Amino acid sequence: MSGWRLCDYEAAARERLAPAHYDYFAGGAGEEITLRANVAAFDRLALVPRVLRGAGRPETGVTLLGCRASMPVLIAPTAFHRLADPQGERATARAAAAAETIMIVSMAATVAVEEVGAAAPGATLWFQLYVQPDLAFTERIVRRAESAGCRALVVTADSPVMGVRRRDIRNRFLDLPAHLHCENLRDGPGGPVRPIAMWPELSWEHLAVLRRMTDLPIVVKGVTHPADARLAIEHGAAAIMVSNHGGRQLDGVPTAIDLLPEIVAEVAGPDGSTVPVLVDGGVRRGTDVVKALALGAAAVAVGRPVLWGLAAGGEPGVAGVLGLLRAEVEQAMTLCGCAGVGDLTPDMVRSVVPPC
Ligand SMILES: Cc1cc2nc3c(=O)[nH]c(=O)nc-3n(C[C@H](O)[C@H](O)[C@H](O)COP(=O)(O)O)c2cc1C
Ligand SMILES: O=C(O)C(=O)c1ccccc1
């Protein structure tokens, strides 16, 4: 698949997927304003490279919450990988292991977290959690994620209810096909599968409960307001993920890349200390990654591009997408005169008026 660009994977995925499943992956909430804006926002930013720095071949690797990744691109948690490929999350995890990057396994995975870990022993996995009102059940799934070897807990905060996804309503996409289930929601092996609850009562108090429940570092995903970034840290978050859920929750939210600088400024301690700020939404090429890092992100995550790789070509497809992003990041860093991610600074990014 060499020579492919990310848009080629999306086109191939679209041809292979049932239209309702393509729409589920591709779609956003409401009028899809935020969905479109996420991608467009990167094009309104320009990179100002530094020259003659003798930087050599760049080191693209990063360490996040004690986990090494070969590039500052993580796999965002996305549901239902077996809609895209029979191996589903197993294939994604194997490609993540081969690329040496971190996969955030979704609570709504169609392969149990234990099986994802077993399928890709070399993979670094984090687990995304929708905190369930049944806190005893929540604790059981946290223990399962720990036993499966997950190294961080990513708590999704932007989904007190599900966003209104008009494509899914139009397509009557309500349930998974009968042979697929959210395996992390099973009450014991072979037991019944619970529906995932979105919980409007979820609050900062529960973050403190989780903090006491586990020694895993907690990432709060779906932060957009700077005041919430601060609250997340005050409640023990080890990292923050600036995200509008890929435009799938509240439509009209600013793009994650536009929110990033304010949040980075807010979480910077007076002594220069800070927690890592991750960002996702609309990252589609290496220069997008470099822009986010220059604006203060410790790393980015990609959601849909991984699903396109998976639907287009299973594990090799995901490997192709990750390899492409990795090569593009390296190329962009080299052209920016950067030896490592720490050399990317905010002065290297400018807002531009789009050409008319
Ligand atoms: C099909 C799909 C399913 C998703 N499922 C989850 C999920 O289960 N949990 C979660 O926290 N975020 C979920 N997300 C949001 C992603 O983690 C991420 O925030 C978003 O996809 C980033 O935008 P991008 O797709 O433009 O890269 C999902 C996104 C998509 C597209
Ligand atoms: O579709 C999503 O974006 C998502 O986050 C989700 C939540 C619960 C179940 C399946 C997917």
Show me where the domains of the chain are located.
Answer: 6-45+58-276+285-341
Cβ atoms of residues 245 and 158 within 8 Å = yes
- The closest-lying atom of ligand 1 relative to the alpha carbon of residue 104 is 17
Q: What are phi and psi of 207, to 5 degrees?
A: -65, -40
Test site for ligand 2: of 35, 106, 107, 306, most ligand atoms within 8 A of the Cβ: 106
Pairing of strands 153-156, 218-223: parallel
Determine the Cα–Cα distance for residues 274 and 97; give it in Å rounded to an integer: 28
Residue 26's pLDDT is: 98
Cβ atoms of residues 81 and 109 within 8 Å = yes
Test site for ligand 2: of 38, 159, 182, 198, most ligand atoms within 8 A of the Cβ: 159
Report the predicted TM-score, pTM, of the whole model to 2 decimal places.
0.98
The ipTM estimated for the assembled molecules is 0.99
Nearest to 10 by CA among 101, 23, 69: 23
**Ligand minimally distant from the alpha carbon of residue 280:** 1
Residue 355's pLDDT is: 59
181 is catalytic: no
Cβ atoms of residues 303 and 78 within 8 Å = yes
Q: What is the mean pLDDT of each run of 10 residues along the chain (356 residues)?
A: 85 98 98 98 96 96 98 98 98 98 98 98 98 97 98 98 97 93 91 94 97 98 98 96 98 97 92 90 98 98 98 98 98 98 97 70
Written as one letter, the residue type at 132 is Q
Residue 273's pLDDT is: 75
List the residue whose alpha carbon is closest to atom 7 of ligand 1.
78
Query: CA angle at residue 302 from 29 to 151, to 5 degrees?
Result: 115
Residue 274's pLDDT is: 86
Residue 352's pLDDT is: 86
Residue 297's pLDDT is: 98
Cβ atoms of residues 146 and 117 within 8 Å = no
**Ligand minimally distant from the alpha carbon of residue 155:** 1
Beta bridge partners of 219: 154, 239
Q: How far is the CA of 106 from the centre of ligand 1 (A)?
A: 9
Homologous superfamily in CATH for domain 6-45+58-276+285-341: Aldolase class I (3.20.20.70)
Distances (CA, A) of 40 to 46, 47, 103, 235, 354: 12, 15, 25, 33, 10
Nearest to 97 by CA among 123, 133, 60: 123
Determine the Cα–Cα distance for residues 282 and 300; give it in Å rounded to an integer: 10
Pocket-forming residues, ligand 1, beta carbon under 6 Å: 25, 38, 76-79, 106-108, 128, 156, 221, 243, 245-246, 248, 280-283, 302-304
